[in-house]
Amino acid sequence: VATGSSPGRGALIVFEGCDRSGKTTQTQKLFDCLVAMGRKVELWRFPERTTGVGKMIDEYLKSGNNLPDEAIHLLFSANRWETAPLLKSKLAAGVTIITDRYAYSGVAFSAAKGLDLNWCKSPDIGLPLPDCVVFCDLHPEKAAKRGGFGEERYENIDMQLKVYHQFQKLRQSDWKVVDASQSVDDMHEEIKTLALEAMDHCTSKPQQRS
């Protein structure tokens, strides 16, 4: 419960998971629901393809350029870093940020290509830490049955299986693992509860984590 007039800080709620695990649907539903409740909230996504760095990433994903694995890894990280000052100021101002992917995707996709796990983690060290990580858990074999993957680089079963395996390695005990094979509405109800818990926790702890 908030004390005094301080609104506390916003929560950083990160959604992770393989492609086609329902992240985009669920982040949108959570956002709509929190807006309807009158909460200060924004919906973000990574990669954020509209920036200069983001445009290079977009081109890479559409297979328009062939950057070395290390170079694209650093661009994905830079894409998070370039928005970090705004992210920090929003959180400090009490805005909850929901994001469709974050640094865990960065590590999982590059480690899936064979890059060293610790090397992959290092460029993201110092980014704002999530208050809640929602892992949308859907095995790639099941995701593939949902009408197939898209056309972009990485959207194939071999890559997705490797990424899923890397996510299992990265998974921390405080991650909220949500069964993404259940219905959209059931999944949303579960996520809504988790998000409100995380937001309440932040309201009572105004100090920004670094």
Closest separation in Å from C-beta 105 to ligand DGP: 4
Q: Which is nearer to ligand DGP, 9 or 162 (CB)?
A: 162
Contact 7, 203 (CB under 8 A): yes
Sheet holding 12-16, edge to edge: 41-45, 96-100, 12-16, 132-137, 176-179
Q: Does 24 bind Na ion (CB under 5 A)?
A: yes
* Binding-site member from 16, 17, 19, 27 for Na ion (CB under 5 A): 19
Binds 90, which of ligand DGP, Na ion, none (CB < 5 to 8 A, cut-off by type)? none
Closest separation in Å from C-beta 180 to ligand DGP: 14
Q: Which is nearer to ligand DGP, 16 or 131 (CB)?
A: 16
Closest separation in Å from C-beta 87 to Na ion: 19
Residue 122 to residue 124: CA distance in whole angstroms: 5
Interacting residues with ligand DGP (CB under 6 A)? 19, 46-47, 61, 72-73, 76, 100-101, 105-106, 109-110, 154-155
